[in-house]
Amino acid sequence: MSGSKCRIVIVGGVACGPKAAARSRRRDPNAEIILIERGKLLSYAGCGLPYFVGGAVPELDGLRQTTYGQIRDEDYFRDVKNIDVRLCTEAVEIDRCEKKVHLRQIEGGAMSSVSYDRLVLATGSRPVIPPIAGIDLEGVFNVHAPADAEQIRRRIDADEVNHAVIIGAGLIGLEMCESLFNHAVDATVLEMKEHALPAFLDFEMAAYFQKELVRDGIELATGQRVLRLEGDGRVSKVITQDKEIETDMVILAAGVRPNVDLARAAGLAIGETGAIAVNEYLQTNDPDIYAGGDCVECVDQVSGVKVYAPLGSTANRHGRVIGDNLTGGRETFAGIVGTTVFKTLNLNIGKTGITEKRARELGYDVVTSITPCLDHAHFYPGGKEFLLKLTADRGDGRLLGAQLIGPGDVTKRVDILATALRFRATLRDVAGLDLGYSPPFSQAMDGVIHAANSTRNRLDGMLSALTPPEARERLARGNGMILLDVREAKEVEKNPMRDQRAVNIPLSELRRRMHELPQDAEILCICQVGIRGYEAGVILQGNGFGNVKYLDGGMRVWPFVMAGVESPE
């Protein structure tokens, strides 16, 4: 603990800033700590704003309460933490030579300055505002600050919104789907890129996600560039390149960018991602100035490259490290593995590490698998499914990333895999994990272990699989591949493949009917989710069939496989 009378000035009062302030106070009771925040509220859970809009959090104050119910306001920070909080105050300039921060009152514009021994920049992010005509119309909102959420909630509570358009199918946009759904507000989600969650999911996993989302009643349109918004003072229509959508509200969810204006003007280094560059101690290129939260870049521990990944969890971890180092510590922040979880409607989504697409961009030779899982034993009531995609390095088997989607419990598995990534585990390491088992909580071999073994089978060459993109490309060429559907007749009747190349021989009949198939043909085995397809392929391969593969993900990914592929007559 440092006993010196150090003045610490922190700019930014949402996540990283208050955490750094509180940690500094615990370590140094004598430090003078000043927290500057341009807004009216501080230390609130910004990630909870969609849940306030949806009603799961009834009052906005619920996002800034302690676990024992006290509101984290100015009085709380003064009385409990002995921290001087200055709300509605903007830091406009840093004088590094004089070690001063120049301030301006938001209301009235009065100027002042404060000196510092150590300075922390926790300036966060700002929403991306697309250059769209009509963006300034009434009824167009962001979901970035409490005031945004309050306005949206007020409109909904006043029954002024029957339909909303959400621009952007990222985390916030899709969380807002559920919030609107809870108020019986119809929603149309527009995404400029080719699929939803483009930063988090590969195409085939996104295809499964989108199918489930549409089934729950959400209209999702991808590949849609918004041209303009129309309305007489208030937005009433959204125009894309091929759609005209009448609406009562538009929610902008096009992402965020780091708020670095103050740092850049002060001559602090900006990294390759556009965020503030910091070292392992979260110092900028000025050793007396630290930075953390949504305004800085991080090291991706999987690939070693710098990334911009704004998350409340990361911001809080940054704050603790900074608080230690402000008060004489030498704590380091090693980086992130890119772990994200969220839910929308009946689906849970998780991602950690890098996607297959990103891995290939970085030059990795990868092997992947898509494995259907249950979140607990199949014989115990109430089990729910999820799909798990693993991506690994083909050379050494090191795990590179995972994606999980479904109504089942994905969060437990994401955290297992995030831990494995942190310690650079291989597929063999993951398959050997001693995980807890009890029928209400997991299968005897948890989905994580099952998926690792499935991917290892690929590396060992036991049976070739076609990923959905590979199958799509192969079928588009119109070759003579036989699509061997090994589902039972009732499954086929309920969800037919509708392809002339399809031959239905249920797995239960395959051993006695395999003579119906030509041994020299290329055969792609397909079932509902992939397990029986793999089993069928092993049976055929063991009986002399030399060109057998199975479809990774089965009928779950079939709509994506056949998108734009014509079935031969």
Q: How many CA atoms lie within 13 A of 53 on its CB side?
A: 32
Report the C-alpha gap between 224 and 192 in whole angstroms.
5
Q: Which amino acid is at 55?
A: G
List Cα–Cα distances, 545 to 509, 523, 524, 548, in angstroms: 17, 9, 12, 7
Exposure letters 174-190 (e unless 16+ CB within 10 A, then b)? bbbbbbbbebebbbbbb
Please give the structure tokens belonging to residue 458: 């690929």
Q: Which amino acid is at 526?
A: I
Partners of 85 in the β-ladder: 35
Q: Which amino acid is at 486?
A: V
Active site residue 177: no
List Cα–Cα distances, 548 to 94, 224, 330, in angstroms: 66, 39, 57
Cβ contacts of 331 within 8 Å, gap of 6 or more: 281, 320, 321, 324, 325
Q: How crowded is residue 275: how many other Cβ atoms within 10 Å of its Cβ? A: 26
Report the C-alpha gap between 440 and 444 in whole angstroms.
11
Q: How crowded is residue 568: how many other Cβ atoms within 10 Å of its Cβ? A: 11
Strands (E), 410-537: 464-466, 482-485, 502-504, 523-526
Report the C-alpha gap between 440 and 419 in whole angstroms.
23
Catalytic residue among 6, 47, 88, 298: 47
Q: Is 213 helix (H, G, I), strand (E, B) or coil?
A: helix
Between the CA atoms of 390, 393, 399 and 400, what dihedral angle is there, to the nearest 10 degrees?
Answer: -80
Q: How crowded is residue 40: how many other Cβ atoms within 10 Å of its Cβ? A: 13
Report the C-alpha gap between 227 and 235 in whole angstroms.
14
Which residue from 168, 192, 182 is spatially nearest to 256, judged by alpha carbons? 168
Q: How crowded is residue 399: how many other Cβ atoms within 10 Å of its Cβ? A: 26
Catalytic residues: 47
